[in-house]
Amino acid sequence: MKTLQLVLVIVITSLAGCSSMLSQNTNQKTRSSSLVDFLYPDEQSRQAHQPSIPTLNLPATVGIAFIPNQYDSGIRSNDEIALLEKVKKQFMQYDYIDRIEVIPSSYLKGGQGFTTLEQVSRLYDVDIIALVSYDQVSQTLENNAAFLYLTIVGLYVIPGNENTVQTFVDTAVFDVKSRKMLFRAPGINKVEQRSTAVGIDETLNEQSQGSFSLAVDDMITNLDAELGSFKTRVKEDKIANVNHKDGSSGGSLYFLLMLLTAMLILKQHEQITKQLYIKLTSVYR
């Protein structure tokens, strides 16, 4: 009798974790990439980094890329491109942006630091690069209904798994030449969904992609706001110099306006003097 009870306990214990036998993504899984680790791979590079005041050439040429994941497969390449194309589409509407190049993360793999950024910027002929880092945690736990996984039917029809995916993305925008970070913006998302034991991997993959997409949408909104704030700080706090590719700049434009105003005043003064001279001449004749 005790032997039978022991066998039943073993069988029930084994079947209670059926989803773990049917999935490679049970419990918790993390995918992430780090801006700090990529740009400053060692302490020496962090101490040597001394950014200068940037000079922005408008309209700007911009590259955007995901920071590669150094530890696992990360985001699939086609998903990366699709997410970055959303960002590109949103910001191509501005007249101070000439073009935006979507750069696959494979161009950044194998290299680290600003030296790699400078190489990529020359390759794509861009002055500014936006680096997107991310951290995504996927977790699945069995709820009370998972007890019904003891039956074959239960594995297919009972939603006994609670799946949660939380995603954080962050875009940091750098002027490559000065190595100065211009501004940054985050995006967050959390999705929750129940699933059956069978097909849990497909469910988690769909949740992961959907959460990345929604987090990027949130990031786009924040990027737009940060871009407006940055323009204000450039004008008021002089945190960057601005040159226009037609040869003008913020300072030179002001000087040109002042020069034209002075010339106009001198011309008017010359006309008034001439008219006064004519009148005086006619009087004394």
User: pLDDT of 207-253, one tens digit each?
Assistant: 889 999 999 999 999 999 998 888 888 888 888 888 887 654 444 44
Read off the pLDDT of residues 88-125 as tens digits, 9 standing for 90 and up: 988 888 888 899 999 999 899 877 788 899 999 999 99
Closest by CA to 63, choosing from 97, 34, 33, is 97
Closest by CA to 186, choosing from 235, 132, 139, 259, is 132
> How high is the pLDDT of residue 49?
62
> How high is the pLDDT of residue 254?
45
The residues, any chain, with a CB within 8 Å of residue 184's CB and separated by 6 or more, are: 170, 171, 172, 173, 226
Is-contact 160 203, C-beta < 8 A? no
Q: Give, for 169, the enclosing helix (H) or strand (E).
A: strand 161-175
The better pLDDT of the pair 137, 93 is held by 137
- Say if residue 128's pLDDT is above 90: yes
User: Which tokens is 77 given?
Assistant: 């390449």
Crossing angle (nearest 10°) for helices 200-237 and 77-91 = 30
> How high is the pLDDT of residue 65?
95
14 to each of 8, 10, 58, 153, how far by Cα in Å? 10, 6, 64, 17
> How high is the pLDDT of residue 83?
93
Long-range contacts of 1-7 (CB under 8 A, 24+ apart): none
Read off the pLDDT of residues 18-68 as tens digits, 9 standing for 90 and up: 444 445 555 678 889 999 889 887 777 666 666 678 888 889 999 999 999
Is-contact 105 145, C-beta < 8 A? no
Residues shown for the chain: 285
> How high is the pLDDT of residue 181?
92
215 to each of 13, 34, 58, 85, how far by Cα in Å? 38, 17, 29, 14
The whole-angstrom separation of Cα 229 and Cα 259 is 31
Is-contact 63 121, C-beta < 8 A? yes
Read off the pLDDT of residues 247-280 as tens digits, 9 standing for 90 and up: 544 444 444 445 555 566 666 656 665 665 555 5
> How high is the pLDDT of residue 217?
94
Residue 34 phi, psi dihedral angles, 5° rounding: -120, 125
60-66 vs 97-102, strand pairing mode: parallel
